[in-house]
């Protein structure tokens, strides 16, 4: 099974530290140590704060890269127009298995994040601050930081600040899901596209950005735009936080100036000298081949120009000894299981895309490849959030980056390499947030091929060419549990069972996953 990353991996820095200042002194900067390392911070008027963000070209560090100054002004204008107090939200919901930069910041430098959030709240006249987290460690660290500052959620306070804890799910980090949970609803995207700058928490204009963005703002406010711009590239000044994992000797979070060669970053983490490819931007990101990765530099514009993505700063190389498409299939299965189960492109389309990739690896030929491409095209731009788009883009990038391996699987007997599970995934054991801890199983001595189960839970069971279910058993995500129970009750032949998954089962997914270290070709096609 793919190994998961610790909450707080090793932290290193290239050049002078900005966000990670003081990390060499203590494990966590409490308020006293934070002030010794960074010094005091004076409030900044709203337009001056927006101008500062413009001068340092500050963009959101959660993946989308939206200009912070533009977002700040949009919230201020909406609040003035409506005559209501805005809300500030820090998104620390870092739920992608390959990302730990925000988790490191919250655990080790929570006051730097709070500095930036409080600057924004003061500039906007906000009276509510919400910090979204999904882990025990980040919740504890941020609660302690609020207590150290005397902040809380008490009525009558000049600023009401609270921590919003959500489950560890890919979709809970989506901005609308965080807003919905802060209002007391489920931590899922609502399915309607509304800008948080117009209507966010409690219907008020809401400034929502990720933890690193607020920390970068606090650093720039202290040292000034001129000094800040001395680090990194002219058009993207400052530093970025990266999470290095995959085929590396030392998984780590690394603070680097923009413009640093990607090959140097990989070398620091102990990546293979000639990786097959490097996944940039995480599991909603894009692959670079070895030659392109060697020449790339770390910046949002530079990575996009060469076909990659900075995203949330996850960098994952893979070595020459593993099947890259098999590794991608592991991730595709996980992405499918992370669906919120609310819209067809997500809870039907993503499992179908994962099955399509599995068919390609099973030797399905050009027909299977074209079917996979049709599914990924159909999924994009139709979901309730960006999860289907990002997941489909990952699969498309996988089949585009590894053309030799793709040809070996489509036209031959496969690449012959094992799947080693080098890309980290959440350790979603039965009973975890994404899994119901149960599985659907077909009793072949009773099944008569009625096909009702495939109509009720199409995300888990499909019919084969013979009209019978194409899988013998399928793990059940939480969002499908009610439909799975209904399928069991309505099976005319009583051939479907809902069982407790054994403790040693692989991560929950709608599809069987390859055992670590074995090739799919060695397992056969697995078709019924």
Which has more confidence, 482 or 139?
A: 139
The tens digit of pLDDT for each residue in 361-380 reads 998 899 999 999 999 998 88
Number of H helices, E strands in the chain: 21, 13
For residue 254, give the 3-state DSSP assignment: strand
366 burial class (0-12, 13-18, 19+ CB within 10 angstroms)? exposed
Identify the pLDDT of residue 432: 38
439 touches 505 (CB < 8 A):
yes
- pLDDT-derived band at 505, boundaries 50, 70, 90: very low
Flag whether pLDDT at 422 surpasses 80: yes
The tens digit of pLDDT for each residue in 57-80 reads 999 998 788 999 999 999 999 999
DSSP 329-359: HHHHHHHHHT--S-SHHHHTHHHHHHHHHHH
The tens digit of pLDDT for each residue in 215-259 reads 999 999 999 999 999 999 999 999 999 999 999 999 999 999 999
Per the listing, tokens 């409030």 go with 43
DSSP 229-284: HTSB-SSSBSEEEEEE-SS-SS-EEEEEETT-BHHHHHHHHT--SS-SEEEESGGG
Identify the pLDDT of residue 521: 37
Lowest pLDDT segment from 171-180, 226-235, 475-484: 475-484
Q: Determine the Cα–Cα distance for residues 463 and 377; give it in Å rounded to an integer.
A: 23
The tens digit of pLDDT for each residue in 434-456 reads 566 788 889 888 999 988 988 88
Which has more confidence, 513 or 96?
A: 96
Flag whether pLDDT at 515 surpasses 60: no
Identify the pLDDT of residue 480: 74
Averaged pLDDT for residues 14-22: 96
Flag whether pLDDT at 510 surpasses 50: no
Identify the pLDDT of residue 95: 85
Identify the pLDDT of residue 433: 44
**Which phi-psi region, left, alpha or beta, contains residue 402 (left: φ > 0; alpha: ψ -120 to 50)?**
beta
Flag whether pLDDT at 514 surpasses 50: no
Q: Determine the Cα–Cα distance for residues 81 and 199; give it in Å rounded to an integer.
A: 12
Flag whether pLDDT at 118 surpasses 70: yes
Q: In residues, how long is the chain?
A: 528
Averaged pLDDT for residues 398-425: 92
Largest distance between two CA atoms of the chain:
75
Flag whether pLDDT at 318 surpasses 60: yes
Flag whether pLDDT at 431 surpasses 50: no
For residue 229, give the 3-state DSSP assignment: helix
Which has more confidence, 415 or 515?
A: 415
Check residue 23 and report its DSSP letter. T
The tens digit of pLDDT for each residue in 376-394 reads 998 888 887 888 999 999 9
Flag whether pLDDT at 509 surpasses 50: no
- pLDDT-derived band at 462, boundaries 50, 70, 90: confident
Averaged pLDDT for residues 178-201: 89
Least Cα distance to 362 among 400, 410, 327, 404 occurs for: 410
- pLDDT-derived band at 338, boundaries 50, 70, 90: confident
Identify the pLDDT of residue 427: 57
- pLDDT-derived band at 502, boundaries 50, 70, 90: low
């Amino acid at each position: 099974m793919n190994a998961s990353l610790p909450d707080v991996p090793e932290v290193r820095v290239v050049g002078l530290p900005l966000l990670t200042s003081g990390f060499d002194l203590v494990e966590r900067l409490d308020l006293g140590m934070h002030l010794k390392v960074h010094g005091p911070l004076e409030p900044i008027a709203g337009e001056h704060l927006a101008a500062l963000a413009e001068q340092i070209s500050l963009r959101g560090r959660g993946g989308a890269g939206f200009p912070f100054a533009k977002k700040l002004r949009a919230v201020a204008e909406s609040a003035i127009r409506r005559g209501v107090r805005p809300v500030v939200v820090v998104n620390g919901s870092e739920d992608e298995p390959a990302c730990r930069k925000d988790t490191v910041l919250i655990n080790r430098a929570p006051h730097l994040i709070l500095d930036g959030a409080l600057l924004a709240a003061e500039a906007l006249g906000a009276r509510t601050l919400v910090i979204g987290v999904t882990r025990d460690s980040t919740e504890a660290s941020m609660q302690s930081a609020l207590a150290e500052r005397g902040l809380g959620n008490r009525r009558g306070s000049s600023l009401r600040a609270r921590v919003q804890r959500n489950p560890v799910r890919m979709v809970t980090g989506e901005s609308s899901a965080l807003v919905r949970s802060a209002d007391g609803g489920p931590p899922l995207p609502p399915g309607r596209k509304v800008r948080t700058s117009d209507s966010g928490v409690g219907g008020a204009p809401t400034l929502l950005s990720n933890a690193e963005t607020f920390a970068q703002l606090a650093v720039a406010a202290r040292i000034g735009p001129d000094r800040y711009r001395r680090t990194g590239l002219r058009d993207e000044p400052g530093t970025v936080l990266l999470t290095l994992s995959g085929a590396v000797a030392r998984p780590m979070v690394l603070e680097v100036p923009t413009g640093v060669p990607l090959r140097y970053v990989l070398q620091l983490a102990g990546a293979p000298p000639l990786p097959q490819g490097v996944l940039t931007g995480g599991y909603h990101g894009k692959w670079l081949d070895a030659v392109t990765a060697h020449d790339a530099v770390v910046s949002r514009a530079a990575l996009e120009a060469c076909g990659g993505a900075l995203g949330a700063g996850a960098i994952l190389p893979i070595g020459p000894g593993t099947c890259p498409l098999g590794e991608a299939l592991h991730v595709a299965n996980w992405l499918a299981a992370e669906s919120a189960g609310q819209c067809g492109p997500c809870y039907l389309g993503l499992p179908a895309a994962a099955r399509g990739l599995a068919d390609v690896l099973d030797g399905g030929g050009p027909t299977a490849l074209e079917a996979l491409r049709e599914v990924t095209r159909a999924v994009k731009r139709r979901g309730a959030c960006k999860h289907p788009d990002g997941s489909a883009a990952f699969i498309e990038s996988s089949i585009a980056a590894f053309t030799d391996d793709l040809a070996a699987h489509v036209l031959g007997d496969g690449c012959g390499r094992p799947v080693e599970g080098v890309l980290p995934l959440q350790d979603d054991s039965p009973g975890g947030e994404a899994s119901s801890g149960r599985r659907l199983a077909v009793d072949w001595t009773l099944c008569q091929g009625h096909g009702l189960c495939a109509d009720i839970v199409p995300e888990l069971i499909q019919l084969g060419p013979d009209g019978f279910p194409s899988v013998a058993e399928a793990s059940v995500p939480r969002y499908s549990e009610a439909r799975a129970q209904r399928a069991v009750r309505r099976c005319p032949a009583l051939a479907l069972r809902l069982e407790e998954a054994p403790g040693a089962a692989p991560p929950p997914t709608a599809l069987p996953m390859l055992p670590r270290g074995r090739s799919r070709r060695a397992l056969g096609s697995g078709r019924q």
